[in-house]
Structures are given as structure tokens and as C-alpha cells.
Amino acid sequence: MATTSLFESAVNWIRKGYPEGVPPTDFPPLLALLTKVLDDDQIMRVCMELAAEQGIGTPLTEEQIAGAITKVSDQPPTEYEVNQVASRLAAVGWPLAAETKSSEHDAEDLSSPS
């Protein structure tokens, strides 16, 4: 039996949650969610794969994605924005309560008030 990797699952959840593509306003909170479960290389692959599928006019570069990841780290989206995206992905199976790459505490932060 083949198992689906976290990377493949993330791509599939995003495809289901955003069948028309991720709008620019949802991209930073989506990145914030992805950084909790994937490493930077995996996030890069997710972004490049989804961008290629969506046929965006200007191709994304690894530098642009790395810059966006850094920006999300330096200026994180609001908890409300993250929760909006998390809710959309949870509706298609994103396991918000799943253990994250760094700790279970990070996943709890998504749903706990500040």
C-alpha cells in the first residue's frame, strides 16, 4: 500500500480548498500554516507545483517564494487571517490538530485565542 506524504497531502488540500487558485490575500496566511508542518524546501515545492498548475502569467522563482517565507516570518499574518485560511482547508480535510514539524504546541496556536 502506498502512503501519501505530508507534501502530497498539503498539495491536495490546497487544490481542494482553492480550486480556482490561491488569491494573493490568502497567500501569506497559507504560508504561515505551511511553515508549521513543512520545511522551506517542501514549501518551495508546493508553491512551484501549484503555480505551474495554475498557469500564472509571471513564473514564480525560488527567490520570490523564499522572500515570501521570510516576510511571513518577519511580519506574520494576523491570527484571524490564518484562521480564515485554516478553516477553508479544514473543510477539505486539512488536519489542524495534527502534530507539526516542531511541536504539538504550534498546531494548538492556530485555534487558541491570543
CATH of the domain at 11: 1.10.150.430
Exposure string of 43-59, with b = 16+ CB inside 10 Å and e = fewer, is: bbbbbebbbeeeeeeee
Query: 84 is in which domain, residue-wise?
Result: 7-91
Binning the chain into helix, strand and coil, the percentages to the nearest 5 are 65, 0, 35
Model confidence over 4-20: pLDDT tens digits?
688 888 889 999 999 98
Model confidence over 29-71: pLDDT tens digits?
999 999 888 898 999 999 888 888 776 666 678 898 888 888 8
- Predicted TM-score of the model (pTM): 0.73
pLDDT at 88: 92
**CA dihedral angle for residue 69, residue 80, residue 75, residue 44, rounded to 10 degrees:** 0
Q: φ, ψ for residue 33 (rounded to 5)? A: -65, -45
More confident residue, 101 or 20: 20
**Quick one: pLDDT band at residue 3, thresholds 50, 70, 90?**
low
**Chain centroid offset of residue 82 CA:** 10
- Domain for residue 114, yes or no? no
Amino acid letter, residue 18: Y
Domain count, the chain: 1
pLDDT at 107 over 70: no
The Cα–Cα gap between 94 and 53 comes to 20
Amino acid letter, residue 106: D
Residue positions counted in the chain: 114
- Domain for residue 70, yes or no? yes
- Domain for residue 43, yes or no? yes
pLDDT at 89: 92
